[in-house]
Amino acid sequence: MKISVLASGSTGNATYIETPKSKVLVDAGLSGKKIEELMNSIGRTLKDVDSLLVTHEHSDHIKGVGVLARRYGMNIYANQGTWDAMSAKIGKVPLEQKHIFDMGKTLSIGDVDIESFGVSHDAAEPQFYELHHGKSSFAIVTDTGYVPDSVAGVINNAEAYLFECNHDTEMLRMGPYSWSLKQRIMSDTGHLSNDDGAAALMDVLGNNTKKIFLGHLSQENNVKALAHVTVEDIIQKVCSHYEIEESAIHTKTRKREVVQVRQVAMYLAKKHTDSSSSKIGQLIGNKDHATVLHACKIVKDQVEVDKAFKADIEEIEASLIRK
């Protein structure tokens, strides 16, 4: 299975999946001309695509659907709710190219089996997909306010993921959007934040997982480096820097060197992720929020008076951005 994320974000979404017998697009949220250019950039053409799966009716996912259907004769698959919501927006599609793909069902196209599953988003009947070919699997999860256990069960241990990390919560809160739009994005029917996306990914990754694409990154409320920094990254970098086993910081030991590493990890997690103090404590040693706040104060105070310690912190932070 070959995968190319052609575009992912509020300006347009399209993902191309190819197997020996099938060539599939998931969403067409850009103009037909732009999607053709993107396909050409990977040495492919829209003439080769036989099927287009639609996730929901928002314009950044369907802008080119009608054009591609009429120009290239593609078969278009969506559930009934999405068809009802998008029909007036995409124009006429020949009846023989319109197909209903119900939520919670499995569809076979050539040598690809596709599972559909519902997500929590402010659309008529939003659903995303996991595609299977032989032992390969690819799950797409964007445009959702949270990932329920039912979805995690479907997409568990996929070989590859396109997973939403839409915004840094603090950047969103302090940014130029209206308060109503900010509330919509942060709601259970909005978009996953960097940290919520990372936490959801940690719940589903398995031994079979080899590739992760971060998707739907906001241009206004995110930067790539922030989207990639998670509490788990920080634990790994801090433990590596101080040559401490990661498992050690989750124990109850009070050895000075382990306590310091735990405190540094808490401080950097508080500074570089949008996780709450309670969540950071749970992920680092199963401590309470008061312990996290105390750790942050200790590290901050030491940074101000200890040049060598400050240099350590800056080196770890630089490694997080470089990763």
Asked if residue 15 lies in contact with residue 160, where contact means CB atoms within 8 angstroms, the answer is no
Least confident of 146-155, 246-255, 312-321: 312-321
77 pLDDT more than 60: yes
What confidence tens digit (pLDDT) does each residue in 97-146 have? 999 999 999 999 999 999 999 999 999 999 999 999 999 999 999 999 99
Query: Angle CA(270)–CA(274)–CA(276) in degrees, nearest 5?
Result: 65
202 pLDDT more than 70: yes
pTM passes above 0.85: no
CA distance 216 to 227: 11
Residues 6+ apart with CB under 8 A from 240: none
224 pLDDT more than 70: no
225 pLDDT more than 60: no
227 pLDDT more than 70: no
CA distance 2 to 264: 41
DSSP state letter for 193: B
Mean pLDDT of 158-185: 90
Query: Across the chain, what does the average pLDDT equal?
Result: 92
Burial pattern 212-236, b for ≥16 Cβ within 10 A else e, equals ebbbbbbeebbeeebbbbbbbbbbb
Quick one: pLDDT at residue 174? 87
Count Cα atoms within 13 angstroms, Cβ side, for 185.
26
